[in-house]
């Protein structure tokens, strides 16, 4: 897909992302030997990252997915999210790795960690490609982080604007004037 007029710049190239995903895979391979981890992707933004990352993990893994949506604005700031698609697997006693494309306020990740903790996993870790730590509204830190990114609207490699651009192989920033206020 060609560079679009509404993009400002390519923030992370395909090569930079591939290198980072490989190194995250090396770390996870070392940390999860003999643990048969369950990778839990948070739809939909996770799909590209998760598909690439799992192929860089050289120990057996299993996969599952969650789909969530935030409630209205007031509930969102309280951190309540609605689970649209629940897990298919039982996480009791499992080593769970939550996979996210991006952490921003941290509300989604924080909610999901608590949600999964209620199901008695052996451990929960979080692995995110992109992090905006200065945007946190709750104190949550990812265990494995690809890149700390600036406070820009990002698209590509799973991230969307109005459901577009998830299929870009790189991460681009959108021009401010391309973003419509909701
Ligand atoms: C994004 C991302 C996280 C969440 C992070 O999902 O995938 O789930 O927002 O934001 P937070 O840290 O402020 O909670 P989004 O709602 O855009 O859905 P998508 O994955 O389907 O694109």
Structural domain containing residue 23: 13-153
Ligand 1 neighbour 106 (Cβ under 6 A): yes
Ligand 1 neighbour 107 (Cβ under 6 A): yes
Order of strands, edge to edge, in the sheet holding 38-43?
81-85, 62-70, 38-43, 95-103, 123-131, 144-148
State how many domains the chain has.
Answer: 1
Compute, in angstroms, the gap from residue 140 CA to the centroid of ligand 1.
15
Does residue 159 belong to any structural domain of this protein? Answer: no
Does residue 17 belong to any structural domain of this protein? Answer: yes
Does residue 49 belong to any structural domain of this protein? Answer: yes
Does residue 3 belong to any structural domain of this protein? Answer: no
Q: How many CB atoms lie within 10 A of CB 97?
A: 26
- The closest-lying atom of ligand 1 relative to the alpha carbon of residue 107 is 14
CATH (domain of 33): 3.40.50.2020
Picking from 153, 148, 131, 149, the residue whose alpha carbon sits closest to that of residue 140 is: 131
Buried-state track 123-141, b at ≥16 Cβ within 10 A, e below 16: ebbbbbbbbbeeebeeebe
Does residue 93 belong to any structural domain of this protein? Answer: yes
Does residue 171 belong to any structural domain of this protein? Answer: no
Crossing angle of helices 14-31/47-54, nearest 10°?
A: 60
Ligand 1 neighbour 146 (Cβ under 6 A): no
* pLDDT, tens digit, 9 for 90 and up, residues 17-30: 999 999 999 999 99
The number of C-alpha atoms within 13 Å of 65 and in the hemisphere containing its C-beta is 10
Question: Alpha-carbon distance 138 to 128, whole Å?
Answer: 16
Picking from 123, 126, 105, the residue whose alpha carbon sits closest to that of residue 49 is: 126
SS (H, E, C) 86-127: CCCCCCCCCEEEEEEEEECCCHHHHHHHHHHHCCCCCEEEEE
Does residue 8 belong to any structural domain of this protein? Answer: no
Does residue 86 belong to any structural domain of this protein? Answer: yes
Ligand 1 neighbour 102 (Cβ under 6 A): yes
Structure tokens at 103: 């952490």
Structure confidence at residue 80 as a pLDDT band (50, 70, 90): confident
Output the residue whose Cα is nearest ligand 1's atom 16.
69
Question: Alpha-carbon distance 49 to 167, whole Å?
Answer: 11
Please provide residue 138's backbone torsions phi and psi, each rounded to the nearest 5 degrees.
-130, 155
Compute, in angstroms, the gap from residue 109 CA to the centroid of ligand 1.
9
Question: Alpha-carbon distance 170 to 13, whole Å?
Answer: 5
* pLDDT, tens digit, 9 for 90 and up, residues 103-151: 999 999 999 999 999 999 999 999 999 999 999 999 999 999 999 999 9
Upstream peptide bond of 18 is cis (omega within 30 degrees of 0): no
Output the residue whose Cα is nearest ligand 1's atom 6.
45
The model's pTM: 0.94
* pLDDT, tens digit, 9 for 90 and up, residues 156-182: 999 999 999 999 999 999 999 888 865
Structure tokens at 146: 């690809």
């Amino acid at each position: 897909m060609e560079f679009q007029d509404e993009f400002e710049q390519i923030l992370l190239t395909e090569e930079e992302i591939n290198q980072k995903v490989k190194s995250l895979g090396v770390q996870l391979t070392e940390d999860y030997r003999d643990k048969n981890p369950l990778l839990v992707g948070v739809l939909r933004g996770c799909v590209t990252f998760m598909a690439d990352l799992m192929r860089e993990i050289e120990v057996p893994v299993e996969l599952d997915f969650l789909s969530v949506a935030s409630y209205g604005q007031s509930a969102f700031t309280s951190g309540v999210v609605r689970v649209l698609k629940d897990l298919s697997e039982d996480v009791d006693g499992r080593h769970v790795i939550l996979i996210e494309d991006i952490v921003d306020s941290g509300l989604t990740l924080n909610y999901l960690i608590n949600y999964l903790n209620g199901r008695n996993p052996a451990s929960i870790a979080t692995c995110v490609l992109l992090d905006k730590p200065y945007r946190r509204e709750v104190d949550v830190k990812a265990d494995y982080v690809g890149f700390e990114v600036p406070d820009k609207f990002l698209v590509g490699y799973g991230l969307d604007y109005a459901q577009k651009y998830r299929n870009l192989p790189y991460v681009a920033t959108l021009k401010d004037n391309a973003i419509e206020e909701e």
